[in-house]
Structure formats: C-alpha cells, structure tokens
Chains A and B, each alone.
Chain A
Amino acid sequence: MTPLCSRLIASVVVLTCLACGAQDPPKAPPCERECQDAVALRALREMAKLVYNLKLQGQPVGPQDATTPCPLGGQARVFGEAYSNALQGSTEVQLSYVFETCRYLSRDDEPGENYDMTLDGTLSQVGTLAVQPTASTALVMASESMSFAGSVYDPPLAFNELECAVSLGQSGNSLAGFICDREAGLEL
C-alpha cells in the first residue's frame, strides 16, 4: 500500500487497530511430527543466520573463515566464500557451517516459533542472500549428518534426532525440504 493511501485511510487503519485482537488467545493446536520437523528446520536455519550475521556481515568479500560462540553454549564455525553484488543488493554465498554442541533458544507468541535446540553437524549453504527488498533469497542447503537435541513448539515437545540427513531449499522466505527423510516446510 502506498503511503498516500495509507494516510487517506488512516481512519481505517485506526479502526482496524481498534478491531484487531481483543479475543482470548486461542489454544495452541496440537503439533504432530510434520509440525515438529518444521520447527526444527526453523531452528537450523535461524542458527545459521545468526552465525552469518554475527561473523560475516560487513566483512570484506572473498574467502571466509570465522568461529563464534553460540548464545547458550557450544560454538559454530563458518567458512567458504562469499561475494556481494552491491548494485542488486544481494550476497552470493558458498559456505559451510559447523555446529559443535551449539545451543540456541527462541521464544515467541507464535507456538511454532519456539524452540530450545542444540545442533551438532555440518551444513552447506550455496546461493543468494537478499539484502534489500528488491532482491530475493535463493539458497540450497544440505547436511549429510546433523544431530538435533532439545525441544520444539510451545508447549515444548522433545525433539531429538541423531545423525540425520537434511536437504533444504529457500526461496524468499519459504523454506522446504527433507529432514531425516521426512518432508517438511515452513514460512520464515
């Protein structure tokens, strides 16, 4: 919506504000296996994003190799090559993330965005990261062996998978693929 239109119907905006919410929070629906897998994929993707933004954003293009402690213990290393296209507003990556007992916690009002996860394993990431809205993210990610240990969802459900194969694709904010040979997907 254009700013003009948003101003013209600012009344409607306010009215909408008045109209929004005001209902008791609905009880969270049950989260079955597919749902749990989706939350686990979210955890994997967001942990990779965290590591990237902690260590690589703003760094000179070219070969990369950096290690960072994880927020709740463990560490993660990211290495490979990354280049940027400043005109288009995108970054081309060919990176590997090595998680070593790397633990991260996410809490949100949305039940499906809650997890407490510890990762062990290596994830490869190839493709384009969008930097400004006019570009779009396109990534291929895979791991031959990734271990998940922790909980997903709210209320928490135990999620533990050892040496699990992961293959993922991300287009924009849509993430889809397989985890432990099970199909899963979500919107970031």
Chain B
Amino acid sequence: MSVLRLIASFSVLASVLVLGATAAAQPAGPEPPAVKLTPPKLLSEPRVDYPAGARGDARVVLTLVVDRTGAVTAAIASDVNEPFSSAASAAALEFLFEPALRDGVPVAAKIRMELVFREPPPPSVDPQDDEAEQPPEPEPEPEPAGPIEVVVRGERAEPSRSASLSRAEVRQIPGTFGDPFRAIEALPGVTPIVSGLPFFFIRGAPPGNVGYFLDGVRVPLLFHVGIGPSVVHPGLIERVDLYPGGYPARYGRFAGGIVAGETTEPTSRFKGEYNLRLFDAGAMVEVPFADGRGTALVGGRYSYTAFLLSLVSPGTLLEYWDYQARVTYDLTREDRVGVFAFGSYDFLGQVTETSTLTLFGTEFHRVDLRYDRRLHGKGNLRTALTIGLDKSSVQQDRSVVSRLLGGRTELTQRLDEQVSMRAGTDIQFDTYSVELGTNDLSPEATRASALFPSRTDMAFGVRGDVVVTIDDRLEVTPGVRADLYASDGASAVGVDPRVAGRLTVSERVAVLSTFGVAHQPPAFVVPVPGFQPGGLRGGLQRALQQSLGLELDLGDDTLLTTTVFQNAFFNMTDPLGASEPELDGCAPGTFPAESLAGDYVVSRDNPPDCAARFEPGTLGPDRSGGGGQAASSRGGRRAVDLFEVRTLGSAYGLEVFLKRKLTRKFGGFVSYTLSRSTRSYQRRQYVAAFDRTHVLNVAAAYDLGRNWRAGGRVMFYTGLPTPPNPFEPDKTRLPPFFRADARLEKRWQLSDTAWISAIAEWMNATLNKEPVQTECTLAGCEAETIGPVTIPSIGLEGGF
C-alpha cells in the first residue's frame, strides 16, 4: 500500500516541564530565583507515515521526554487510537531536538506534542499548509480536560487575516454563547453598531459590505431573527477567520471585510455534540461508514421560543431552526466526493383568532456538491456545484424568493519549493421573484419596486494568486480577480488586484502588509436572504484597502499584532453610516421646517431638517393638522432614499491584538481599535454615523481547577457622533458605553471522549444601557438610551 506522508501539522499543546525546574509550578510562596528556561526545539522533520490500513483523520497527543542530547527517550500517547497511537509513538522516538536549556545548560525536558494525521488531505488547503511546522513551545501546565482544541494546521497565517479563533477558544469568550461567528465582534477592526447586535462595521465598511462564508459558500443570513444565535451549529465550525481588508483573491464581491468559517474535517470516529439552553436545543452527530471511507454528519438546532412566548405573549409567534448535513466518500485515496447542505428558518408572526399573520419570515437553503481531487501530493482541485433557495416574507404575503445555481472550481498547486499557485473560477445565477402587489402606486412602493425587481442576476469570476517564498524570510502573494456582474439589463466589470507580503524579521517578529482593491454590487443594509438590490443602479462599489502590521510572537502561546490600516471607499451604499448625525426632534429654538402650516414638504436637494424658530415678536404659523403637530419621523421616510445615496468614505486607524490562547490555564486577549471613519456626500464631509474612536475588548479565561473554568470580558467603546446642540456646542459624542460579560463552566469528563458541561453565561451582566442618540425637548438635549440589552443563559453542553 502506498504510504502517504501527511503530517500536515504538529503542535505542542501543553506543557514543557523542565526536569528539576518544578519550582516554577509551585503555588504562591517566596519567589524562586529567576531561571531562564529555553524549551526544546525540533531539529528533524516531524513526519510520520500514515499507518497502513488506517482510514480518516486522527490526532494523537504524545508526551515526549527529550534528554540532554536532544534525543527522545520516551513517547507515550495519552489516548489509545490505533494504529495512529503506535505510529506516532514510533515515529516520535526518531525525532531530534535541540535540548532544553536552563540558564544555558542542557537539561532533560518533558513536553507534550500533538500529531495530526490527515488522509486524504483537506480540500482547498492552502499551499502553506504544508509549510514547516512551528517549533514546540514550552507550556506551564497540561491542558485541562475537555475537547481537544483544534489546532491550525501548521499554517502560516495569511497577512490579510487579522485574527483567527478556534471553536475551543470561542467557547471561552464570555458573551458569545459559544457561537464562533458572534465572537467576531471582539476582534480588532470591528466596530459594533449596538451592543449585542451581531452586525458590524469592519474598518469603516458597513455591515452590508461584509461577506460571510462557510467552506467557501456564501451564507446569506448569519444569525437567527437578526440578533439570535448563528444559523450553523457551533460544533460544526472548526475556526473563524477575519479578513478585514486586502484579502486573498479567492474572496471577492464584497468591498468591506470577509468573515470565513471553516467546518471541521470529516472524522473517522463516531462523535457528536449537543446543547440545551433556555431557548433552544441543538445537536450534531457524525458517523463513519464503509470502513471509514465515508462519513455522514447531521446537525441542527430547534428553538422552542414559540412555546415560551405563548406563555407570556400569546399574540406573538417566534420560531427558528436550522440544519446541517454533510456526507463525504473517498472514491480513491486521491478522490473524494461530498455534499454539504445547510439551511435556516425564522418566523415572526402575529397570532389572531382566525390565523397567524406574517410579520417577518425568512429562510434559506444551500446544497453544495463537491468533488475533491488531490494532485499527486502537490495540490488540490475542487469542483463544486451549489444550489440554493432564499425566501423572505413580510406582511400581506409580500415576499422575495431567490433561487441560486452556481458552480466553481478551486485549484491549489505547489509549483516548486518556493512557489504555490491558487486559482479558481465561479459562476452564479440568482433568479429573484419579487411579489409586491401591483396596485400600490405610492412613491415608496414604486421606489422599492425599482430597487428590488424580479430578474435574474449573474456573476462570473476568475481569480488567481501565487504565493512566492523568497529566502524563507519573505513571502509575497500577488493576485488578481475579475468579476463580471449582470443584473436587470445592466452589467459591470470589477478588476481587483491584490498583493500581500510577510517579511520574517526574526524568529519571533514578522512584518505584514496588504493592499487590495475590492468591488461589490449595491448592497442591502444587512444580510437578508433575497434582498439584493437589482439593476446595478449607481454602479459598483469600490474599496481600496491597505494595511501594515507587525506580528510579535511573545512565546507561551502569546501573540501580539499591531496593524495600521487605511481604507478608501468609492460609490458606496451605506444607509446606516451615510446619514449625518441628527437630533431626535428639533433642538430648542428650531422647529421642523419640513412642515409648513401643516403641509408636508420634502426636498432632497435642500434637506430642511430643523429651521430657526419664527422671529421673536412675530406670529408663528397655524400648523393644525396635516402632520404639523408632531412631524418628526424623518428617518423612516428617508430610509428608501438612503439606498440610492452613494457616498465616498474613508477609514484609517490602528489595531492592537494581544492574545494568549484562551484554552490555556490562563488565557485571554486584548483587542483595541483606534480609528476614524468619515463619509462625503454632496461635497460635505462628516464623521460616519457609526464611527467609534476607541473600541476595546478585554477577555480572560481561567481554569479554577477541578474542571471549573471561569471567564470575564469587558467591552468598551466610544459613543456615536452627535450633532451639535445649542446647550452643549462642544459636545460631539454621545457618552461611551461599556459592558461586562461573565461565564462559568463546570465540566465532567465521563470517559476518554465523552464529556458534559453546565454553563452559565451572561452578556451585559452589568445591565448597562447604551446611548444611541441625542433627544431634544424644550428642556434641553440629552442622550437617549436603549436597553439594557442583556442576555443571561444557562445551559448544558456535551459531546462524545
């Protein structure tokens, strides 16, 4: 049988316990003399032959004893998983290390190491997946019991990827409820709209310009009922990466940022996860079949909010569910076929005596058929066909239905030791059927109908980039993608050059830089299935994105990244951020100029918000009737107009991200963003409506022992811009906001692989209210707050 050499990754998971240096692990007491410890460094190539007769993937955690010469004298697997355990142990005995040093003197050391067997290789694996592994790092203590953390497979992070969180880490971040996608709000460059609302501005780009992908398939709706849990079971997510700008060429059609989730690799063993919370329950199970050549996974979540709400609010109906299914089958060692399906359903309705009226309903379904072929160990080729259905419904059975048909090819090929190539094409057809009713001739309905016509959209893209490694210190990735868009008789082409670079200054220091152009058709405010403006009215949006960063490996699983960025946006659609800050109501001394003697006047060319009050000593108008008594609902009236407004924008700032793995005994991160985002419209430049100067997240998780784990998180950000008011002319911002989240988990290890946890989590445990705008009355102007938006949660999670 052919032997696959596929150690794609290896990583030291836990401890280096330098023999004779155990004092470092002692509890509090007199501080021992400072001892400089240097962990062993791997000198040999960490390759292990894939065991003959084995199937699927496996990971083995070894405890190695490295003697003073650097030889491995013992290699013991922590779990029995044959034939992988034996293969790993045997191979590890051949590894050669540079011995550990104590104050410069070689000493014996004990380390833990994880070896991951992958067969066949993961599809669409980037070439750098095969890069040399990172050297082992010392760890103070073994990992706590629990699910093994998914390890990034020795992959050298792409320069445009500002942060990556594994599922195991996300579980430790309070306030995320274990949802990997929800954790995005804590990352640098991400500016929340409102605390708890999982839609974000990323480096100044609005939520509609942020693309969400799962295994390369775009996800049209990420969160249930807009603010609920994500539509994909967290157990299926291996990790989530954030690309805030200058992203790789494989990502396109979004001129903001990219949030990319990767699902877990198919596994050769029977495994599952389940959770039970106050409002929903979910489960996921994966089983191998055909002697491990195939795997089948099903998962989903169901909310029983309908039942709960019926107890407290019988007139309201709210329900949601989602599902995921995946089947893979290895035709040969080089060929795998698979299907991945996922979908989601949300419904908000009003229950009457005779029927249930739809207030808002949305659903989407995706089926991705895949064929993956490994190219002689030097690359991968994926060919995929995606079909989908999106549907959103509103009152009176108005609805938008979109049917999707798309195909794509993705090629990853190593050309030689220094050059790898990534290329691909894709084409997608979206057929929209919009049911508006034909008798509504109101201006708003007419305008909305023009924005969302029934039609078929087409997008075709070609892209490619090469990863060039020069002298093992400089890695440059130039690339380009071109997209052709057609919609409702209009067409446009976007050509997006990209380049990214990584300069390794030293073993622990690297300089990262990115530059990219990104195009995108007009976007809706937030992702809603089926709601894509049609006709390319106003042309494509365009963004120029660039960043320069410094990455510093502080050791001990701690990484510090600082990045400066600058984005420029052209022709952008940003209904959220493009509006100048405005008061709720008119400031004392002014009145709504849109109302004149009760008659309604709107002028877009000369928008008269509030005009000076009538001159003292003169008579004011009689404004009885016709809306003249309290005409202040300007925002809603302009919402439709805002979709047609195109603005210029810019954003620049500094990001700092200090992270120590949250799965460590003590882990956490500090994420800070200092930025400024502006918009220009009709020759006026102003601070974007959702600009926040400072955004700070500090999170920490600590293993209390006995399988208790506690975590806390503080989120702070600057208030939104506010227009000047006559009482406080110097005040330009609403008050800042902060909240504190908490999490406590108790885990029981039921067997080698089975576990169950009880988790209490509370987002905004401090019950802080958030200022959202300035409200003016005759008595003056003050901040108007909402909330407190707080989510306490108690639940059970388990797995096997």
Contacts and interface: CB of A to CB of B under 8 A. Distances in A.
Interface of A: 1-8, 10-24, 45-46, 48-49, 52-53, 56-61, 64, 82, 84, 86-91, 129-134, 136-137, 170, 172-173, 188
B640 interface: yes
Given A22-B440, A130-B623, A131-B621, A15 B197 contact: no
Given A3-B584, A20-B444, A86-B615, A15 B360 contact: yes
A102 B640 CA distance: 42
30 contacts: A3-B635, A7-B576, A7-B579, A10-B642, A14-B448, A14-B640, A14-B643, A17-B444, A18-B452, A20-B440, A20-B442, A21-B437, A21-B445, A49-B624, A49-B625, A52-B621, A53-B621, A58-B619, A58-B621, A59-B618, A61-B618, A82-B619, A84-B619, A91-B620, A130-B623, A131-B620, A132-B620, A134-B585, A137-B624, A188-B625
A124 B626 CA distance: 22
A87 B631 CA distance: 19
A15 to B, nearest CB: 4
A79 B588 CA distance: 30
Contact of B436 (A2, A18, A49): A18
Given A84-B618, A133-B632, A18 B624 contact: no
A170 B526 CA distance: 44
B437 A133 contact: no
B624 A170 contact: yes
A166 B588 CA distance: 37
B624 A89 contact: no
A133 B630 contact: yes
Interface in B764-800: 772-773, 775, 777-778, 784
Contacts of B615: 58, 86
B526 A14 contact: no
B634 interface: yes
Nearest to B631: A133
B104 interface: no
Contact of A2 (B392, B584, B617, B689): B584
Given A86-B614, A86-B615, A89-B613, A188 B630 contact: no
Interface in B128-150: none
Contact of B618 (A5, A58, A88, A134): A58
Q: Which of A17, A48, A131 has the most CB of B within 10 A?
A: A17
B72 interface: no
Interface in B512-533: 524-526, 528, 531
A18 B398 contact: yes
Contacts of A52: 621-622
Nearest 7 pairs of A and B residues by beta carbon: A22-B437, A188-B625, A132-B591, A21-B440, A6-B635, A131-B620, A3-B635
Main secondary structure of the interface of A (DSSP, over half): mixed
Contacts, number: 213
B260 to A, nearest CB: 24
Main secondary structure of the interface of B (DSSP, over half): loop
B643 A84 contact: no
Interface string B389-421: 000101110100000000000000000000000
Contacts of A133: 585-586, 591-592, 629-632
Q: Which of A6, A64, A90, A188 has the most CB of B within 10 A?
A: A6
B777 A134 contact: yes
A5 B629 CA distance: 22
Nearest to B627: A173
B438 interface: yes
B751 interface: no
Contacts of B524: 11
B30 interface: no
Interface residues of B, number: 77
Given A11-B528, A86-B616, A136 B439 contact: no
Interface of B: 193-194, 197, 360, 392, 394-396, 398, 434, 436-442, 444-445, 447-449, 451-452, 524-526, 528, 531, 575-576, 579, 582, 584-586, 588, 590-592, 597-598, 613-626, 628-636, 639-640, 642-643, 689, 720, 772-773, 775, 777-778, 784
B448 A61 contact: no
Q: Which of A12, A22, A24, A52 has the most CB of B within 10 A?
A: A22
B618 A60 contact: yes
Contacts of B452: 14, 18
Contacts of A87: 588, 778
Contacts of A172: 629
A61 B778 CA distance: 22
B619 A91 contact: yes
B448 A131 contact: no
Contacts of B193: 8
B582 A3 contact: yes
A172 B616 CA distance: 23
B86 to A, nearest CB: 57
A84 B614 contact: yes
A18 B440 CA distance: 9
B635 A131 contact: no
A130 B629 contact: yes
B607 to A, nearest CB: 13
B394 A19 contact: yes
Q: Which of A16, A46, A170 has the most CB of B within 10 A?
A: A16
Given A133-B592, A137-B624, 5 more contacts: A8-B194, A8-B197, A19-B398, A22-B396, A84-B620
B622 A13 contact: no
Contacts of A14: 448, 451-452, 531, 639-640, 643
Contacts of A61: 617-619
Contacts of A49: 597-598, 622, 624-625
A109 B629 CA distance: 21
A113 to B, nearest CB: 10
A133 to B, nearest CB: 5
A10 B639 contact: yes
B350 to A, nearest CB: 13
